[in-house]
Amino acid sequence: MSVMTILLILLVLASLWTATTFLLLRAAIGLALTSVMLAIIMYDLGAGLAAVIELSVCAGLISVVFVSVISLTQRKPFSDYFERRASRLRRFWPLPVILFVVGIGLSLVSAPVTPAAAPATPQPDVRTFLWSTRQLDLFGQILILLSGVFGVLVLFKRNEKGGE
Amino acid sequence: MTILLLFVPFAALLILNLLPRSVRLTAAVAAGAVLLTAEAVVAILLPFGLVDLAGLTPLTNALPFPLTVDALSSLVFLCAGLAGLTALSVCRSTMKSDRDGFIFVNLLLIALIGMNGIAMVRDLFSLYVFIEVTATSTFILIAIGRGRDAFEGLWKYLILSFMATVFMLTGVALLLLFTGDITLEAAATAFGQPGSLAWVALLLYFCGLFVKAGLVPFHGWLADAYTGAPAAVSTYMAGVVTKASGILALMRVAQSPLGSSPMIRELLLIVGTVSAVAGAFLALNQRNMKRMLAYSSVSQMGYIVLALGAGSRLAIVAAALHFFVHSISKAQLFTNAAAIEDRLGTMDMDQMGGLAARMPLTGASAAAATLSVAGLPPLAGFWTKLLIVLALWRSGAQVWAVIAILTSVLTLAYFLSLQRRVFFGTVADTWRAVKEAGPGLTIPAVALAVITIGVGLGFPFLLPLILGGGS
C-alpha cells in the first residue's frame, strides 16, 4: 500500500469523522485534519501552491465555522449520545459509497482537460512561496483570525454589567 | 503608499485594543472617524492627481505586494468612507452597550481593510482572500445583534457565503489548472483560445461573486441579514460592503478584454435583469421597511450588473456612477430606517403613517433618496439610470434597455408605497408624541441627501470631467 493510498484513506476517514461527530470541537478538529490531509496530498502531487492555499484558507474557515456553529447551537444532554451517533452514521453512510463510485468513475473516464504545462523551473519551497509571494494573503488570514477573536468576544464573553 | 490603506487601519486596530478600557470607545470612534474621513478625502483627491498613490514608486516597489489603485479603487474608497462615517454615527446613536460599540468599530475597520484590499489587488486568489476578510468581519457584525433574527440572517449569509467560497476556490483551482496563473489577464487570454474550458472556471468564480453581491438567484441571505443586523451594520452593509464584495470584481471583469466577450455580456445581462426585476417585485410585497430596502438593493445591484452587460466604456462609467449613487442613497435610507426604529421601535410599515410631520428631517431626506433611487429627475439616480439605458441602447441591447426603464417604474411604485405608508397621511394616535431622532441619525441622513441632490444638479457638469478622466 503506497503512502498516497494511506493518505487518501485517512482523508476519507477524517472527513467522515467530521460529518458524523456532533461534538463541535471534534468536528472542527476533523475539518482541520481533512484539510491537512488534502494539503499533503496536493503537495505530494506537485501542487505546492494549491497545498498552501488549502492550508491558509483552512485556518480562517475553521475559526469562522467553529464560532458560528457554536453560536447557533445549545448544549444538549449526553444521555442520548450513542443513539444520536448511530443516527448520524445511518444518515452519512452513503457518503463513502458515493465517493468510491465517483472515484472509480473518474478513474475510468479520461480527464477532459489538459493541465497547464509544468513550469520549467523547480517549484519554490512552501516556506519561500508563502513568505515571498503570498504575504498579502497571509495578512488577509490574520485579519480573518482577528475577526474570529471578535466573534468569540461578541458571542461568549458576558457583559461586565451582567446584562447579557 | 498604497500599502498604507491596509496597514494604517490595521495599526489603529492594534493600538485601540491596547488602550485602557475607560477611553477605548471614545478613541475608537475618533480613530474610525479620522480614518474614514481620510479615506473619503483620498478618494476625492486621487482623480485630480493631488494624492498620487502610484507615484511613490520606490516605496511601492520596495514592498512585494502587488497593489494597484485606479478610478474604481477611488470609487470604493469614497463609498467606504461615506458609508463608514454614516454607520459610525448610527452606531453611536443606537448601540446600547459600549462594549458592542467598541467591537463594532474594530470590525468596521477590518471590513474597511478588506474592502481596500478588494479595491487594490489584481489576482483572483488575493481578491478572494480580501472578500473573505470583509465577509468574516460582516458575519460577526451581524452577530452583534444577538437576537433570533440576527442569527437567522447570519446563518443564511454564512451558508451562502460558504457556497460562494466553494465556487470561487474551485474557479481559481480550475484556472490554475488551465493556465498556470490566477490573474484576470490570464483568464482573458485562456478564455479567448478555442476549445478552452476557462469559461467553466470563470462561471464558477462569477457565481461566487453573485452570491456575495446578493444577486438573484443567490439573494436568499440578503434580506434576512440586512433586517436582522443592528441598524449601524445594515447601514454599512447596504452602503458599501455588499457592493464592494460582489460588484467591484464584476466591474473589473467588464473593464478587461473579457467584458467584450458575447458570452460574458449575455450572462451579465441576464443576471442583472433578473435581479433588477425580481428584486423590485419582491420589494413591492414587503411590510417591513428594512426588508423592502434590502430587496431594493437586490434590484439596484441588478441594474449595475445589467449596465456591465452592455460591455462599453460608457456602460462601465454608468455602472460605477450608479454604484456610488446607490451606495449613498442606501446608506441614507438605512439611517432613516434606524431613526424610525429608534423612535417607534418597529419596522412594520402598516403600523406607521404621517411620520413626515413628526420627523421632518428624516421624512425629507428619505424622500430625496427614494426618488433618486427610483430615477426621478433631477436627482442623481435619474442621471445614472439614464446613462445605463443609453449604454444598453447604444450597445444594441434595446430590449434590455426597455426592461430597465420598466423596472424603474416598479422601483417608483414600491418607494411611493413606502412614502405613503411611512411618511404621508395622518399620524396614528400611537405616534403623536414621537419626535425627530437625534443628531447622530439626522445629520448623516441630511448630509447624504444633500450629496444626492447636489450630484444630481451638478451631474451635467460632472459627467464630462468623469468621461474625460481617462480610466
Q: What is the pLDDT of residues A49-105, one digit of tens each?
A: 778 777 766 655 665 666 566 666 666 666 677 777 777 777 777 877 887 787 777
Q: What is the dihedral of CA B452, B458, B459, B460, to 10 degrees?
A: 160
- The residues, any chain, with a CB within 8 Å of residue B226's CB and separated by 6 or more, are B153, B234, B237, B238, B290, B291, B293, B294, B297, B334
pLDDT, position B57: 46
Check CB contact under 8 Å for A143 and B140: no
Check CB contact under 8 Å for A140 and B130: yes
State pLDDT tens for residues A27-41.
777 888 888 888 888
A-interface mutation test, from B95, B129, B148, most A Cβ less than 10 A away: B129
Confidence class for position B145, pLDDT limits 50, 70, 90:
confident
A119-133, B75-89, B446-460: segment of lowest average pLDDT: A119-133
Check CB contact under 8 Å for A50 and B129: no
- Which burial class, exposed, middle or buried, applies to B14 when counting CB atoms under 10 A from its CB (0-12, 13-18, 19+)? exposed
CA distance B126 to chain A (A): 6
Is the model's pLDDT at B78 over the cut of 60?
yes
Higher-confidence position of B471 and B21: B21
C-alpha–C-alpha distance, residues A7 and A26, integer Å: 20
> What does the domain layout of chain B look like in residue ranges?
1-260, 261-471
Mean predicted lDDT score pLDDT of chain B: 88
Contact with chain B for residue A53, Cβ under 8 A = yes
Check CB contact under 8 Å for A57 and B169: yes
Is the model's pLDDT at B52 over the cut of 90?
no
Q: How much of chain A, in percent, has pLDDT values that exceed 70?
A: 63
Check CB contact under 8 Å for A60 and B132: yes
Q: Which residues on chain B are in Cβ contact (under 8 Å) with A61?
A: 165
What residues of chain A, 10 to 39, have a C-beta less than 8 Å from chain B?
none
What DSSP state is assigned to residue B243? I
How large is the average pLDDT for residues B452-456? 94
Check CB contact under 8 Å for A146 and B144: no
pLDDT, position B239: 92
CA distance A147 to chain B (A): 5
pLDDT, position B210: 94
CA distance B141 to chain A (A): 8
CA distance B201 to chain A (A): 12
Is the model's pLDDT at B112 over the cut of 90?
yes
- The residues, any chain, with a CB within 8 Å of residue B317's CB and separated by 6 or more, are B387, B466, B467
Q: Which residues on chain A are in Cβ contact (under 8 Å) with B154?
A: 68, 71
Higher-confidence position of B437 and A129: B437
How large is the average pLDDT for residues B378-405? 93
The nearest alpha carbon in chain B to A54 belongs to B169
pLDDT, position A2: 81
Is the model's pLDDT at B217 over the cut of 60?
yes
Confidence class for position B98, pLDDT limits 50, 70, 90:
confident
Check CB contact under 8 Å for A68 and B155: yes
Calculate ∠ Cα A35-A40-A41, nearest 5°. Answer: 95
pLDDT, position B359: 92
Phi, psi of A58 (to 5 degrees): -55, -45
pLDDT, position B333: 95
C-alpha–C-alpha distance, residues B468 and B313, integer Å: 11
Segment of A96-105, B118-127, B461-470 carrying the highest mean pLDDT: B118-127
pLDDT, position B194: 75
Check CB contact under 8 Å for B137 and A164: no
A147, A155 Cβ separation under 8 angstroms: no
C-alpha–C-alpha distance, residues B8 and B33, integer Å: 13
pLDDT, position A53: 72
pLDDT, position A163: 44
pLDDT, position A117: 56
Check CB contact under 8 Å for B177 and A116: yes
